Amino acid sequence: MSITITPTSATLGAIVTDVNLSALDDAQWPTIEDAFHQYGLLIFPGQHLDGQAQIAFARRFGDLEILVEDMTSIPVSNKDEEGELLEDDSFRMQLLMGNEGWHTDSSYVHLAAKASVLSAHVVPKQGGETEWADPRAAYDALDEATRKRIADLAAYHSYFYSQAKIGHKVAVGEAYGFFEGEPPLRPLIKVHPVTGRPALYIGRHAGQIPGFDLPESEKLLDELMTFICQPPRTFMHRWTPGDVAVWDNRCLLHRARPYDHREEREMIHTRIKGEVASETSLNG
């Protein structure tokens, strides 16, 4: 049986069926990798990967980031180790609520991420979807004057900045050592290392553009974000347990959608490292 790839009606994303990711063979890999480059986001319904199979699938894309305490896969879950629901003001819930702002993974560390794999295990009855946006298509649609204006600009990507902006405390970032030294400085336009396609590369961690004062910088970045994150450049997935998604952090933005935190939501996240040559910050 050959793999079926069904593009969404947005400018990004495809649904991939007729494939078993737990038993992916080498002959099938180029089809998936090509689709990943073309669509940026692939959703594989009903895979029910176990922990090892998720890691093996993620490893196809490259080396994995160590996220916390030697773990390559981490639960993105609103329960603690005892299975108790987290309080909204808890340290971990603050991290999760940060995910509700448009972002790209690990842009706040000097080597940004290449891709992320996310699988659904327990989902709330309502809300808790994930949504992606397409900064490649946004760049294509930008007017020439704006393209020129931003061509040589860069912004600092700081986790301290993004969490502080939503009222969360310094401690969140400090605990992970995210801002020892200067935060990474990244060009506003990123050229994809494989496809050569330019994309806006910003998101909630991007705040200060050198040479601009902060309000001026935030105004420009907000305008660009609003332009990116509108139809047909967004796609939302309503999860069913067993679904798996992989997306390209080099050219897409994503966010979690809100839900009632008294309900359980449990996802598993595995993150693939960027390449040193293409994902290192300007000052890294």
Q: What is the contact surface with ligand OGA in residues (CB under 6 A)? A: 76, 99, 105, 116, 118, 130, 254, 256, 267, 269
Rg (CA), the chain: 18
Provide long-range contacts, Cβ within 8 A and 24+ apart, for 82-91: 85/261, 85/262, 85/264, 86/261, 88/261, 91/171, 91/172, 91/175
Q: Which is nearer to ligand OGA, 130 or 158 (CB)?
A: 130
Q: Residue 82 contacts by C-beta under 8 Å, 6 or more apart in sequence?
A: none
CB of 1 to Mn ion, least distance (A): 32
Characterize the bridge pairing of strands 41-44 and 14-17: parallel
Binding site residues, Mn ion, CB under 5 A: 105
Q: Which is nearer to ligand OGA, 94 or 130 (CB)?
A: 130
Binding at 130: pick from ligand OGA, Mn ion, none (beta carbon under 5-8 Å per type): ligand OGA
Binding at 256: pick from Mn ion, ligand OGA, none (beta carbon under 5-8 Å per type): ligand OGA
CB of 277 to ligand OGA, least distance (A): 24
Q: Hey, what are 20's tokens?
A: 């078993």
CA angle 155, 162, 241 (to 5 degrees): 115
Binding at 19: pick from ligand OGA, Mn ion, none (beta carbon under 5-8 Å per type): none
Q: Which residue is nearest to Mn ion (CB)?
A: 105
Q: Which is nearer to ligand OGA, 32 or 256 (CB)?
A: 256
How far is 269 from 282, CA to CA, in rounded Å? 27
